[in-house]
Chains A and B, each alone.
Chain A
Amino acid sequence: MNQPELTMSTGEVLMEGSPYGIEKKKLGIWLFIVSDACTFATFLFGYGYMRVGSKNWGTPFEFPTILNGIVMTFILLSSSLTMLAAVRATQAVQKASANKWLGLTMLLGTVFAILHLREWFKMIGEGWRLFHNPTGGAAQFGATFFSVTGLHLAHVICGVLALLFITRGYNRGRYDSSHVETAGLYWHFVDLVWMFVFPMMYLMNAAR
């Protein structure tokens, strides 16, 4: 569908349109994802460095926290599926269906954020701070936990807002399926990051 027109004349390839058949929006978001992945990697590297270098790290997460995390993971992964359905629907020009799936994706994202913030406030209530560990272990636990999950949460919230913006534009005819697909790439990336954050920040810190 997006094949660039290639003209062969006397052995040389003349390019019409984009040489790799990639849309500039899509290429742009992929590059953003590459650089954002480096940013997350830096935070996670910092976490690993702190954790390995600490003598009293501790594993404070009890079963309810882990269960909450599993539910959050399930919700976020489901939202990737609904996002996929939304992209399919916009490509098939089914506006009602697209709106349904986009709305469901935003809803799942919002539920994820609410569950996450509930977890955060519970921990803050227990005395966790960026610089304080109520269980007496390394203070870096709070620092790394809140900064890594906070960065991810900010991405989720930005994603929901971006989807809201895109949906509005789509309904007004300003945006088409390519815009929805671009937003979808970002959304899947945020989910993928969670698949690193969840094992590293939750499962590795589960009480045993």
Chain B
Amino acid sequence: MHNMSAHAAAHHAPPHGFIRKYVFSVDHKVIGIQYTTLSLVAAFIGMALSWVMRIHLGWPTAAIPFLGRLSPNGAPGGLLTPEYYLSLMTMHGTIMAFFVLTAAPMAGFGNFMLPIQVGAADMAFPRLNMASFWVTFVGFVLACATFVIPDGPPLSGWTAYAPLSAVGSEAGPGQGWGQNLWGLSIAVFCVASLLGSLNFIVTTIDLRTKGMTLSRLPLSTWAWFINAWVSLLAFAVLLPTCLLLVLDRLGGTSFFIPGGLVMNDKMLPHSGGSPLLFQHLFWFFGHPEVYIIILPAFGIVAHVMPTFIRKPLVGGWKVITYAMAAIGALSFVVWGHHMFVSGMSPYMAMVFSVPTLIITIPSVIAVLVFAASLYGANIRFTTPMLFCLGFISLFISGGIGGFFLAQPAVDSYLHATSFVVGHFHFTMGLSAIFATFAGFYYWFPKLWGRMMNETLGKVHFWLTFVCVYLVFMTMHLMGFTGAVRRYSAFVDDFMVPLMPTNRFISVAALLLGAVQFIFLYNVIWSRFKGPKAPDNPWQATTLEWDTTSPPPFDNFGGRQMTVHHGPMEYDGDASVMQTSTEKSIAGT
């Protein structure tokens, strides 16, 4: 039996040649940057889709010539059909939820930082890690391919509710090969996520360096570790759900299609399936999924904040870690709250309402810890810190909406309104994006060895913060008036008086999008022209700042790191590194 030294395990020689080094690389740092770049591209595509939707909602008669060329059927003469509006909405949700929010904070930053934070040279299974990225990439290409096939993208929403998603091209444009590609894309994404989470868990358990006990793990590592467990269980359910959906579509089975279904004046030959089964399976994945999105965000904020408030979080590592673990566990028993108005038994609605309210307790504890830690702190208002504060604000604002929606009686009224759209954009959408921005500004010097421009960063933060509130708080208000989700235009019903409000949101949303180009400019400019970053520009304490920027191929230049205490130890305003100052040579 060979020796399983934590450090011998992941050693491999630095690669040569462009392809091995930057394309099919097994280096976790390159893979982390690949994931981050993929997410950045996906985020701008997803945002462009939301612009088209907002332009159409604000000015329903305005033509967008580019779209007319992209999809002559979906937007004849540049004017969106209601079906194409739904297709854009579906792809906005799919791309944002899977390829941005799931991928960036976990697979992007996690891949780059987790092995360094635990003092390892690489992930536990480097080749599996490379496979996860490239499988994700294939999934992304399949999702984007729906735009260029004649059928167009599917219109069944990111949740792909059956029977609409299960019956085939009778159900509308995009429901033929568009939906098939969607199903394959998500199935492929599930496989990639499963491989990734497996790798994260084994790395955290097996590859920690000397002295890196569980109580000394940085909170971001804790978050990725807990999140990997949630992903491992949740994506393992979405994968077979996608397979059953594809079987219904291509194999003629009737898992999700009820008998006697008539579509486009055609009686379908299916019988005995249950659309509710799809919703149960989807949301058994889907609710953990929103926590899969927000847990790394908690971790990033918990990791970044102590650096800039120069003191530990209230309650140390334990409170946040236990809260995140509780959220992870409870996230598997609340899925029914997405189905209060689906025809599920009303008694079940009560059953699911209780854990839904219980899961707010650890969430509130985590956010209160962040807020309370600010008290009496000597705060350094850097860009990453501002984004952490923005995260706290957005998560509280969005979370309060959650109390309304957790009540079946109130939810019956609010369920299909823009209140829900505003709620989930605040909580799982923009909170996670703000934490991702915090992580991006914080770790950029480590990723590329250059500093980002602070002034541009602060301008980016304040404009984004204000616009986000203008867009999504207004959506909450519109929801109270009964403004229905998923409608492509409010031209001929009781919602006509809401038109000015709609235009207001559209203008704010377009502005919000435009502001992101400040960020993009800052990224590209700083990547090539930014001032050189020192090893530890933020006076942080964790292992990733105890090496060069960017780190060498084996992360610590042959040093064996020994950890002596937890990550949140500050001596007044001076930081105390987790490691000893004497640098020994590897091979102890």
Interface contact A131-B252, CB-CB below 8 Å:
yes
| CB contact list, B231-257 vs A, under 8 A | 232-233, 235-237, 239-241, 243-244, 247, 251-255
A139-B211 contact given A18-B4, A38-B236, CB 8 Å threshold: no
CA distance A23 to B9 in the complex (A): 10
A167 to chain B, nearest CB (A): 19
Q: Contacts A139-B271, A140-B272 known; A17 to B255 CB distance under 8 Å?
A: no
Partner of B254, one of A19, A35, A131: A131
A20-B205, A147-B247 known; 13 other A-B pairs, CB under 8 Å?
A15-B210, A16-B210, A18-B4, A24-B202, A34-B236, A35-B194, A35-B198, A39-B236, A42-B240, A42-B281, A46-B281, A140-B253, A176-B1
CB proximity of A34 to chain B, nearest CB, Å: 6
Residue pair B232, A31 in contact (C-beta under 8 Å): yes
Instruction: Looking at the assembled complex, report how far the CB atom of A16 sits from the nearest CB atom of chain B, in whole angstroms.
Output: 7
Q: Is A53 an interface residue (CB 8 A)?
A: yes
Chain B's interface size range is: 35 or more
Chain B contacts with A in 248-305, Cβ cutoff 8 A: 251-255, 269-274, 277, 280-281
- Asked whether any CB of chain A lies closer than 8 Å to the CB of B181, the reply is no
Cα distance A2–B208 in the bound complex, in angstroms: 17
Q: Is A143 an interface residue (CB 8 A)?
A: yes
User: In B172-198, which residues have CB < 8 Å from any A CB?
Assistant: 194, 197-198
B2 CB within 8 Å of chain A: yes
Known interface pairs A24-B206, A130-B251; A39-B272 also in contact (CB < 8 Å): no
With A12-B211, A27-B202, A31-B201 as given contacts, are A129 and B232 in contact (CB-CB < 8 Å)? Answer: no
Complex contact A139–B1 (CB within 8 A)? no
Within 8 Å CB of B61, what residues of A? none
Residues on the B chain within 8 Å of A85, using CB = none
- Given the complex, which residues of A lie within 8 Å of B244, measured CB to CB? 43, 46, 147
Residue of B nearest to A41 (CB): B237
A203 sits at the interface (CB 8 A): no
Q: With a CB–CB cut-off of 8 A, which chain A residues contact B253?
A: 130-131, 139-140, 143, 147
Given the known inter-chain contacts A2-B1, A49-B277, A131-B253, please indicate yes or no for A24 contacting B210, CB distance below 8 A: no
Residue on B with the closest CB to A9?
Answer: B211
Q: In whole angstroms, what is the CA distance A143 to B256 when docked?
A: 12
User: Whole-angstrom distance between the alpha carbons of A43 and B237 in the complex?
Assistant: 9
Residue pair B4, A28 in contact (C-beta under 8 Å): no
In whole angstroms, how far apart are the Cα atoms of A2 and B6 in the complex? 13
A48 to chain B, nearest CB (A): 10
8 Å CB interface, A105-156 against B:
129-131, 138-140, 143, 147, 151
- Considering the complex, give the chain A residue whose CB is closest to the CB of B248: A143
- The distance from the CB of B564 to the nearest CB of chain A, in whole angstroms, is 8
Residues in A33-59 with C-beta less than 8 Å from chain B: 34-39, 41-43, 45-46, 49-50, 53-54
B124: interface (CB < 8 Å)? yes
Quick one: which of B5, B211, B240 has the most chain A CB within 10 A? B240
The reply on B581 being an interface residue by CB < 8 A is no
In this complex, what residue of A is CB-closest to B562? Answer: A14
Q: Which residues of B contact A143 (CB under 8 A)?
A: 247, 251, 253-255
Q: What separation, in Å, do the CA atoms of A31 and B125 have in the docked complex? A: 13
On chain B, the residues within 8 Å of A53 by CB distance are 272, 274
13 A-B pairs (CB sep. < 8 Å): A12-B211, A15-B6, A19-B208, A20-B205, A24-B4, A28-B125, A28-B199, A42-B241, A130-B252, A143-B247, A143-B251, A147-B247, A178-B1
Q: Are B124 and A24 closer than 8 Å at their CB atoms?
A: yes
Question: CB-nearest residue of chain B relative to A176?
Answer: B2
| Distance in angstroms between the alpha carbons of A49 and B240 in the assembled complex | 15
Question: Closest CB of chain B to A15's CB: distance in Å?
Answer: 6
Chain A residues near B6 (CB-CB < 8 A): 15-18
Q: Write the chain B residue with the least CB distance to A91.
A: B1
Q: Which residues of A contact B270 (CB under 8 A)?
A: 131
Take A34-B233, A50-B255, A140-B255 as given contacts and tell me if A18 and B211 are in contact as well, using a CB distance cutoff of 8 Å: no
Assembly CA distance A50 to B48 (angstroms): 41
- Whether A14 and B205, one on each chain, are in contact in the complex, defined by CB atoms closer than 8 angstroms, is no
B213 within 8 A of partner (CB): yes
State A119–B210 Cα separation when bound (angstroms): 56
Does B1 contact A130, Cβ atoms closer than 8 Å?
no
Distance (Å) between the CB of B41 and the closest chain A CB? 28
A78 contacts B by Cβ under 8 Å: no
A138 to B272, CA, bound (A): 7
Q: How far is the CA of A37 from the CA of B413 in the complex (A)?
A: 38
Q: Is the CB of B206 within 8 A of A22?
A: yes
The verdict on A1 contacting chain B, using a C-beta distance below 8 Å, is yes
A46 to B254, CA, bound (A): 11
Does B103 sit within 8 A of A, measured CB to CB? no
Is residue B468 contacting chain A, with contact meaning CB distance below 8 A?
A: no
Tell me the bound Cα distance from A39 to B212 in angstroms: 34
